[in-house]
Structure 1
Amino acid sequence: MSLVYITAIEGHVPKDVVCTFQAFLEFCCLVWQGVITEQTLTEIDDVLRHFHLFCKVFWNAGVIDYFSLPQQCAMKHYHYLIFQFGAPNGLCSSITESKHIKAVK
């Protein structure tokens, strides 16, 4: 699916924008894996470093003045949290939220 997004924007936006989205989507794919090894953690660190390197294109172009997205801040904690608590195996916070809503009703 991520290849569809990259292909759709390639040639229409600057190369660094494509690289930013590619790094972000690769990061998502890596952290969503059910089994995460030391090699995967290294890949997560590498792709996160690339994401932060390329996302500066938005700042340099004057699109934004500063980055203030909590999700981007949380990305840098994934390695530590996965190392401490293991892979979430596709667990999503919306699952627990929907169960909570059913329980409350």
Structure 2
Amino acid sequence: MYYSISCTFKDHLVDWVLEYLVITEGKARAQTIMDNIDCRIAAMPVFPGLRQFPHGRQFKQWTGDDSKALMKVFVPAVASYLPDEMLKCFTAFLDFCYLVWRPDIDETDLKQIKNALERFHYYREIFRDTGVLIILFSALGGLCSSITESRHITAVKKPWRRSTQYQALSQMLLINQHLDKLATFTSELVYHKLLPLHIYLHRK
């Protein structure tokens, strides 16, 4: 559910908006509009439950928390630039997200969840009708749980332990970058026969 929601929002809906604006307004005008949207997001007033985004949608690394927080302010920021059907698609998706995030779900909630999902499927056709082809964006990132499970220890747990564990995300990202560069470097050493293969395999 985590990947379905965060990736649907980030990798599909937000990208579809940019693609739609490029198709209807042209690339230069679309970029100007997206800059204006970022300014609107950054200018959202301080309010309990709303996170501040001083740089708009621009993140060094998107997280699930980023997606969940941005969902709350994205629709008002894009409202004047999109047709009603697209806004209804967004609101149906948000309704679905907030319903499934509830700690307790009863029969009434299930009916509302089903209704929100049906509305999302209905209104998402506007993206096809306007030429924003879903196939261009491929599958949702991270839907294969085996990938995330196998990488969780090396990409999350070990970097977390190496960090100071205070505002650790940036430290963990830096650790992962260093590990990737080190892995690339050692594989190059093996390729050029500067590092014995058995040592490389032992370190892995």
Normalising by structure 1, report the TM-score: 0.62
Q: Calculate the aligned-residue CA RMSD, in Å.
A: 2.9
1:27 to 2:126 alignment: no
Q: Distance in 2 between matches of 1:3 and 1:41?
A: 22
Q: How does 1:16-55 map to 2 (within 5 A)?
A: 16-55=85-124
Please state how far the C-alpha of 1:4 moved relative to its aligned partner.
2.0
Q: In structure 2, how many angstroms separate the alpha carbons of the residues matched to 1:31 and 1:22?
A: 14
Matches within 5 A, 1:66-105: 66=135, 69-70=139-140, 101=153, 102=157
- Name 1:63's counterpart in structure 2: 132
Is 1:14 the counterpart of 2:83? The answer is: yes
- Greater radius of gyration (CA): 2
CA distance in 1, matches of 2:134, 2:90: 19
Unaligned runs of 5+ in 2: 1-68, 162-204
Equivalents in 1 of 2:84, 2:138: separation in Å? Answer: 23
For the residue of structure 1 that corresponds to 2:81, the secondary structure is coil
User: Partners in 2 of 1:39 and 1:33 — Cα distance?
Assistant: 12
Distance 1:42 1:25, change over 3 A: same
Q: 1: distance between equivalents of 2:81 and 2:109? A: 31
Counting aligned pairs with the same residue, the percent is: 38
- Residues 69 and 27 (structure 1 numbering): CA distance in 2 closer, same or farther, change over 3 Å? farther
- Unaligned 5+ segments in structure 1 are 75-92
Alpha-carbon distance in structure 2 between the residues aligned to 1:65 and 1:35: 33
- Superposed displacement of residue 69, structure 1: 3.8
Provide the rounded CA distance (Å) in 2 between the counterparts of 1:58 and 1:19: 12
Distance 2:118 2:104 in 1: 22
Q: 1:36 to 1:55 in 2, by over 3 A?
A: same
